[in-house]
Amino acid sequence: MADTQRPLSPHLQVYRWQVQMMSSILHRATGIALAVGSLLVIWGLLALAGGEASFNQFKICTGSPLGLVLLFGWSWALFYHLCNGIRHLVQDAGAGYAIPQFVRSSWLSVAGSIVLTLLVWAYVLTAGGAA
Amino acid sequence: MTAKDLRNPLKTALGLGSSQSGVGHWWTQRVTAAALVLLGVWFVATVLCLLHADYATAHAAVAKPWNALLLIAFVLTMFWHAVLGLQVVIEDYVHTRWKEVVLLVAIKFLAVLGALASVLAVLRIALTP
């Protein structure tokens, strides 16, 4: 880091709210949440490798009310990071930089993540409940 | 004439120039992201298929060669991508140098441990009859 005392960007307080701000910060927030969620993946794999007792314990924990709330949150975080990640890959390829497109794709990421989350949990409910 | 020739030599002399390795991080983040689009969708679909699976069913499913292979690919890519992303967040928001370095090393240690544990688990499941 440069050894300087000058003010550094971003100067968030001078901007009016825009959807791109939310889609950007949500990408980071969901990324951090998913990094924590990777612990659940490790736990699941270790539980399955550990035998029937540890796997059943894992299923009881993930099927508990707290487990389901966390899973719901993580599923939305995954789908948001997925949708917005694809959006970023498209932008990295140089496309979609006009302001109306940029705003529209921000909303598309949010809407897409909500639709995918609801679809998955609708499937979970129809496939015999979330227990 | 290249752009590099136009730089003031003082910039390099003061140690504030490019470290010449930033593109590697950026590019690896994108490549792992592209891989995770495919592997992530596959992972979610696989988990949904095993929704109410008992131990034997889940064990047999993970032990299938393709599933074991893709699971290992998924966890390795996931931890790699997670480290690259967390690294940027730490570099952006942690302004005390020693805390920044400690966190940067800590996430790498944790990610390597997590990746190795996951791979060992999948191998044990795949290789145990």
Residue B6 lies in a domain: no
CA A58 to chain centroid = 22
Residue B112 lies in a domain: yes
How does pLDDT run across B61-71, given as a tens digit for each residue? 999 999 999 99
Residue B3 lies in a domain: no
Q: What average pLDDT does chain A have?
A: 90
For residues B18 and B63, what is the distance between their CA atoms, to the nearest angstrom?
47
What does the pLDDT read at residue B23?
Answer: 84
Residues A72-91 as b/e (b if ≥16 CB within 10 A, e otherwise) read eebbbbbbbbbbbbbbbeee
**Averaged pLDDT for residues B19-45:** 92
Instruction: State whether residue A115 sits within 8 Å of chain B by CB.
Output: no
Interface predicted TM-score of the whole assembly (ipTM), two decimals: 0.87
Residue B8 lies in a domain: no
DSSP, res A16: P
Chain B nearest-CA residue for A85: B33
What does the pLDDT read at residue B47?
Answer: 95
Residue B73 lies in a domain: yes
pLDDT band at B129 (very low <50, low <70, confident <90, very high): confident
What is the percent of chain B with per-residue pLDDT over 70, rounded to a whole number? 88
pLDDT band at A106 (very low <50, low <70, confident <90, very high): very high
CATH code at B117? 1.20.1300.10
CA distance B66 to chain A (A): 16
Task: Say if residue A16's pLDDT is above 60.
Answer: yes
What does the pLDDT read at residue B16?
Answer: 65
Residue B2 lies in a domain: no
Residue B122 lies in a domain: yes
CB contact under 8 A, B125 and A45: yes
Of B40, B86, B121, the CB nearest to A45: B121
Chain A residues whose CB is inside 8 A of the B82 CB are 31, 34-35, 38
Domain count, chain B: 1
CB contact under 8 A, A38 and B79: yes
Q: Which residue has the tokens 């227990």?
A: A131
Of B86, B97, B121, the CB nearest to A32: B86
Q: What share of chain B is helix, strand, coil (3-state, %, to 5)?
A: 80, 0, 20
What does the pLDDT read at residue A120?
Answer: 96
Q: Domain range holding B56?
A: 24-127
How does pLDDT run across A25-65, given as a tens digit for each residue? 999 999 999 999 999 999 999 999 999 999 999 999 999 99
For residues A50 and A59, what is the distance between their CA atoms, to the nearest angstrom?
13
Phi, psi of A94 (to 5 degrees): 100, 5
For residues B112 and A42, what is the distance between their CA atoms, to the nearest angstrom?
12
pLDDT band at B19 (very low <50, low <70, confident <90, very high): low
In three-state secondary structure terms, A3 is coil
CA distance A55 to chain B (A): 7
CB contact under 8 A, B125 and A124: no
Residue B92 lies in a domain: yes
pLDDT band at B86 (very low <50, low <70, confident <90, very high): very high
How does pLDDT run across B101-111, given as a tens digit for each residue? 999 999 999 99
